[in-house]
Amino acid sequence: MIYLDYAATTPMGPEALHVYRDVSGNYYGNANSLHTRGTDAADVLHAALSTLSKSMGDASVTITRSGSEANEHAIHRFLSANQFQGHILTCRTEHPSIRDYLRSLDEQYPTLHVENVPVDPYGNIHPRDVETRIKPDTILATFAHVQHEIGTIRDIRAIGTVLARADVPFHSDCVQSYGKIHIPMQEAGLSAISTAAHKIHGPKGLGAVFFSKMVEPNNGLPSGTADVAAIAAFAEAANVQMGQEARTHIDALRAKMAEQLPVDFQVLGEIAPEKQSPYILGLLLPEMEGQEAMLACDREGIAIATGSACRSGDDQPSETLLALGHSPDTARTFVRLSFGHETSFAEIEEAAMQLTNIRSRRAKDAQR
């Protein structure tokens, strides 16, 4: 199968898999136990946490069970510190884990008020739109670094500068940028970022929140026995992936796919390379629903997506596409292709040809 859904998840890398097997076989003790097996496991655990911390400039790290849980954990920490009272800035194009969590808190706490900052047709958030919405009681702003469906890279440095002037904590969902695109944590004044191991060829079931040095240290683990092997594999995956932040191959893959598709396939996101993640290509298909295209591609041995995997099976149009100004019918024509370092140019050519053929067959069927 030609796999073009790396934004949903990635296969475990050989280096991470080797570490996982090694630690599982040789350092299987409970890291909380005081005997040698336990302290050996604890040493491996602390080394892995240190590696993860260094990947973001010695930020304190809290391990979670997923990227979605990392988002919730970070947001909860800032809101609970303010007794769930105050004003929160976000936008409609955030990941469902953030949108849904904030919506539930907004309903649960009358003392909280969530406000959505508008996005432009490319998915950008303009600093001026953030600045004009800051209030005396704004207690948190949360904006993703890379938009998870169309791949727009937000200018979090400029947004962070505006928030810092008003002393507003800034959280960013960096699940689609960690290990792929440089995250300017200090330059942007970020208070916290969220990540997920399985997006960078690490194991599933692990996420992390990195807190800046300006936030009280909170190195932590989920309750229960720590999965030392998985956390060590996460750290190894981060180590490997950080060395692959050079985007030349991925840039070329995305460009080739875009140029080989029919001209009436509308490419979403930014045109300027510095504002667009090359790992993600969002498309609107002419007169064809994304779900139909995804199933047709699957029959041809090609894996693509119709949006966030966390909302698979949801027949509602993408909230992101609606926020960008598209109608519900147009939003349903959306598909997302996403690439990894393993993706080859031959696979890109085959996938582009199959998408073109699927569209042609669909057009002929519609004429009958």
Task: Give the chain's mean pLDDT.
Answer: 93
Dihedral, CA of residue 161, residue 167, residue 168 and residue 171, to nearest 10? 60
pLDDT of residue 308: 63
CATH of domain 2-10+246-367: 3.90.1150.10
pLDDT in tens, 162-178: 999 999 999 999 999 99
Q: Report d(CA 150, CA 271) in Å as an integer.
A: 12
Place of tokens 């947004």: 159
Instruction: Report the SS3 class of residue 58.
Output: coil
pLDDT higher than 80, residue 216: no
pLDDT in tens, 74-115: 999 999 999 999 999 999 999 999 999 999 999 999 999 999
Q: 350-362 as b/e, with b when 16 or more CB fall inside 10 Å?
A: ebbebbeebbeeb
CATH class, domain 14-242, is alpha beta
pLDDT in tens, 320-343: 999 999 999 999 999 999 999 999
- Which residue, 339, 368, 311, is CA-closest to 255? 339
pLDDT of residue 258: 94
Delimit the domains of the chain by residue range.
Answer: 2-10+246-367, 14-242
Strands (E), the chain: 2-3, 60-64, 86-90, 112-116, 138-142, 170-173, 192-196, 207-211, 266-268, 280-284, 302-303, 334-338
Q: For 209, phi and psi rounded to 5 degrees?
A: -115, 125
The answer to whether 188 and 159 are in contact (CB under 8 A) is: yes
For the chain, the residue count is: 368
pLDDT of residue 313: 57
pLDDT of residue 257: 96
Whether the domain at 2-10+246-367 and the domain at 14-242 fall into the same CATH topology = no
Chain centroid, CA 201 distance in Å: 13
The residue that leads in pLDDT, 367 or 230, is 230
pLDDT in tens, 20-56: 999 999 999 999 999 999 999 999 999 999 999 999 9
pLDDT higher than 70, residue 312: no
SS (H, E, C) 268-281: ECCCCHHHECCCEE
C-alpha gyration radius of the chain: 21
Place of tokens 């649960």: 108
Residue among 91, 174, 297, 310 flagged as catalytic: 310
Whether 310 is a known active-site residue: answer yes
DSSP 134: -
Q: How confident is the model at residue 215 (pLDDT cuts 50, 70, 90)?
A: confident
pLDDT in tens, 52-70: 999 999 999 999 999 999 9
pLDDT higher than 70, residue 303: yes
pLDDT higher than 70, residue 245: no
pLDDT of residue 88: 98
pLDDT of residue 364: 73
Q: How confident is the model at residue 310 (pLDDT cuts 50, 70, 90)?
A: low
Q: Report d(CA 57, CA 43) in Å as an integer.
A: 21
- Which residue, 70, 82, 64, is CA-closest to 192? 70
pLDDT in tens, 104-163: 999 999 999 999 999 999 999 999 999 999 999 999 999 999 999 999 999 999 999 999
Cα distances (angstroms) measured from residue 362 to each of 259, 261, 304, 356: 21, 15, 18, 10
pLDDT higher than 90, residue 189: yes
